[in-house]
Structure 1
Amino acid sequence: MSMFVAALIFVVLLTVAIACLMWAIGAPWPIRDPAVLARTVIGRPGVTRLPKLASLAVAILALAAGILALSLADHTAGDWWLTLIGVLLAAIFFGRGALGYTEGWRARFSEQPFATLDRKNYSPLCIALGVGFLLLVIMRLI
């Protein structure tokens, strides 16, 4: 069961990593207009294009988190530090998901379509990833 949960997390994070890598190399996928893509992905007023270095950093971090999910499913790998990283990742994803529903976040990232997509897709996905990492940690401990 833990490998199934880890595989789901990995596929989601690999998809995010691939999209961010494409943006880091300048590919305007899936929206050809850079300003609309930036409003869809970042949602901060005044942003007209995706920052390439930040996109690359998110790609690397998303891939690393996905690999860590797979590592958490292997109960023979790592030690207490791997479990601790799983707890931290669960907290990070829960935190990002919860932030998406706060007024401060809404004010800072108010551009459409990001604001709507964040409320309906991005934040719930982060919460689901947090649940997934928490499940992996629990399954690792029992």
Structure 2
Amino acid sequence: MTWILTTILTALAALHLLWAIGFWWPIRDEAQLARAIAGFKGIRKMPGAVPSALVAVALMAVIWLLLGWPHGTWRSLGLAGAAAVFTLRGLAAYSPAWRRITPEMPFARLDRRYYGPLCIIIGAGLASQH
């Protein structure tokens, strides 16, 4: 399970790093990509380099907890915190309050179908690691 989580988190960190340097992938048009991956009401530009890079750093910190941090209380607390964040983010995909903040299509559809469930799965996986 650790290697599956690490692979998924590494891919997500790499995507956020690409976005941080202004490489729009998998959709070349910035406005379309922003509506697909962020979905905030009226969004037309991707989130800035700093927020994207911070997400990548946070994801790499979770990878470090999984692979590099010795077993013990601090590792367990870190993984429990990360599991809570991912689980809450996943559940938010089904919240009317979140949908009011992020109504843009195709994000709203992708969030309910893929992003939310993926976050819940990652959260459960991280919870099983401590």
CA RMSD of aligned residues (A): 1.2
Match of 2:8 among 6, 12, 32: 12
* Displacement after TM superposition at 1:14 (Å): 0.5
Distance of 2:33 and 2:39 partners within structure 1: 9
Q: 2:128, 2:99 → 1: CA distance?
A: 29
Offset at 1:69? 2.0
Partner of 1:34: 30
1:133 aligns with 2:129: no
Of the three residues 103, 109, 117, the one matched with 2:102 is 109
The CA deviation at 1:106 is 0.9
| Percent of aligned pairs sharing the same letter | 37
CA distance in 1: counterparts of 2:121 and 2:84, whole angstroms: 12
Cα 1:26/1:53, change in 2 over 3 Å: same
Instruction: Find the aligned partners of 2:66 and 2:120 in 1 and give their Cα distance.
Output: 15
Runs of 4+ deviating beyond 6 Å = none
Separation of aligned partners in 2, 1:58 and 1:97: 16
Structure 2 unaligned blocks of 5 or more: none
CA deviation profile, 1:46-92 (whole Å, cap 9, x unmatched): 211112211111111111112212246xxxx1421111111111111
SS at match of 2:39: coil
Q: Which residue pairs with 1:55 in the alignment?
A: 52
Unmatched segments (≥5 aa) in structure 1:
138-142
**Any conservation in 2 of the 1:10–1:67 contact (CA below 8 Å)?**
no
